[in-house]
Amino acid sequence: MKIAIAILNWNGKALLEQFLPSVLLNSEEADIYVIDNASTDDSVQFIKSQFPTVHIILNSENGGYAKGYNDGLKHITADVYCLLNSDIEVTPNWLTPIRAAFNQDSKTAIIQPKILDFKNKDYFEYAGASGGFIDQYGYPFCRGRIFDTLEKDNGQYNSNINIDWATGACLFIRSDVFKTVNGFDNTFFAHMEEIDMCWRTRNLGYLINCIPASVVYHVGGATLNASNPKKTYLNFRNSLFTLVKNAGGNICAIILIRMLLDGIAGIQFLLQLKFNHFSAIIHAHFSFYKQLSRVLKERKTLIQSQNHYKTKLIVWDYFVKKKQKFSELKNS
């Protein structure tokens, strides 16, 4: 099985200098690529001079995470793509259990490792923890992370498990499946694009796994942190796109309830005097309305299926029932 590790870069020389050595040291059996999203710093020249064994693919524009990978992966030949953030430290033998899981089951299309916090290595990291799930209204959460609550890793989520989505911070996908589902949705730019792609993949009958025997450490927020209103805008807008495209059942009712919940989130931002984030939600909804006709047409070309949700409404479980650990949730 040929694995190609693809790291998307945009003006990220400092991150490449810090984290690329661990990838090279611990990934001898894989080919390593950096896909550059039209950087304006000297990161490309830095790679050429300091890491000559790394292959470089030059994109003509910064199309964000989604288009960046869609464009770059066209130039890579491999059985499995590993999409790896530039702010991740990998560990010895991290590829071995991933390779074994792919070989064990041909229906397994996507895998993520266990993601721990680079700055606090005893705790799970926000982006994917030990596998991602989603509720009926499009809110994502993880084994080891619900909203902003991060659990300490005591080995409680070390079992291999089928999940709803794998984090884009470190996502392995069979190349033929990536092509079958047409990769990421370019209109997302960044955020939620991996959840959308994973949902489309599951709706075709493939499996997505978390393999915690493989461990990586993620800095997180290196491009857009939680305080940036643009991240709020992209998350809220792209979540609505994802629901319309992929959710089974009464999509009108689902979207209506989700938009009401977004309104409550907006009020919370107002009460916290986070006016830019409140504005970002408004902007996200108007962008959604503007593109709704296109997304509905796309829905007709896709397969939707009923999910078995770990919980129907994680907002209720977390904020009302005070269930802040994944282990406290019960299947809906």
- Does one domain contain both 45 and 97? yes
The mean pLDDT value for 211-223 works out to 89
* Gap between the Cα atoms of 249 and 85, Å rounded: 34
Whether 312 is covered by a domain: the verdict is: no
| 307 pLDDT tier (thresholds 50, 70, 90) | confident
- Does one domain contain both 212 and 270? no
Please determine, for residue 222, whether its predicted confidence score (pLDDT) is greater than 60: no
Q: Which residue segment(s) compose the domain that 72 sits in?
A: 3-218
| 250 pLDDT tier (thresholds 50, 70, 90) | very high
More confident residue, 222 or 36: 36
- Does one domain contain both 52 and 109? yes
- Does one domain contain both 193 and 157? yes
* CATH number assigned to the domain comprising residue 156: 3.90.550.10
* Gap between the Cα atoms of 133 and 131, Å rounded: 7
Whether 322 is covered by a domain: the verdict is: no
- pLDDT for 308 equals 81
DSSP letter at 143 equals: T
- Does one domain contain both 169 and 80? yes
DSSP string, 166-221: --TTEEEEEHHHHHHTTSS-GGG-SSSHHHHHHHHHHHTT-EEEEEEEEEEEE---
| 224 pLDDT tier (thresholds 50, 70, 90) | low
Whether 131 is covered by a domain: the verdict is: yes
Whether 257 is covered by a domain: the verdict is: yes
Whether 37 is covered by a domain: the verdict is: yes
- pLDDT for 311 equals 92
Domain final residue, candidates 218, 247, 273: 218
- pLDDT for 54 equals 98
Structure tokens at 281: 């939600």
- Does one domain contain both 28 and 142? yes
Question: Where is average pLDDT lowest: 11-25, 41-55, 196-210, 220-234?
Answer: 220-234
Tokens 């999940």 -> residue: 163
* Gap between the Cα atoms of 88 and 116, Å rounded: 10
Measured on CA atoms in the order 266, 268, 271, 277, is the torsion positive or negative?
negative
Asked whether 210 and 111 are in contact (CB, 8 A), the reply is yes
Structure tokens at 128: 């994917």
Tokens 């619900």 -> residue: 146
Torsion of CA 16, 18, 20, 22, to 10 degrees: -170
Question: Model-level pTM greater than 0.85?
Answer: yes
The mean pLDDT value for 91-98 works out to 98
Whether 237 is covered by a domain: the verdict is: yes
| 12 pLDDT tier (thresholds 50, 70, 90) | very high
- Does one domain contain both 210 and 268? no
The mean pLDDT value for 211-222 works out to 91
- Does one domain contain both 185 and 69? yes
Over the chain, what is the mean pLDDT? 96
Q: What total number of domains does the chain contain?
A: 2
- Does one domain contain both 76 and 209? yes
Instruction: Report the candidate in 183, 181, 306 with the shortest Cα–Cα distance to residue 254.
Output: 306
The mean pLDDT value for 37-51 works out to 97
| 76 pLDDT tier (thresholds 50, 70, 90) | very high
* Gap between the Cα atoms of 109 and 180, Å rounded: 11
DSSP letter at 75 equals: T
Whether 224 is covered by a domain: the verdict is: no
Structure tokens at 17: 């200098």
pLDDT tens for 125-139 read 999 999 999 999 999
Residue 318, number of CB atoms within 10 A of its CB:
21
CA 151: distance to chain centroid?
19
- Does one domain contain both 37 and 94? yes
- pLDDT for 171 equals 98
The mean pLDDT value for 178-190 works out to 97
The mean pLDDT value for 55-67 works out to 97
Structure tokens at 318: 């977390």
- pLDDT for 305 equals 85
Asked whether 37 and 59 are in contact (CB, 8 A), the reply is yes
| 100 pLDDT tier (thresholds 50, 70, 90) | very high
- Does one domain contain both 195 and 48? yes
Write the CB contacts of 221 (distance below 8 Å, at least 6 apart in sequence): none
Asked whether 110 and 201 are in contact (CB, 8 A), the reply is yes
- pLDDT for 225 equals 66
- Does one domain contain both 16 and 38? yes
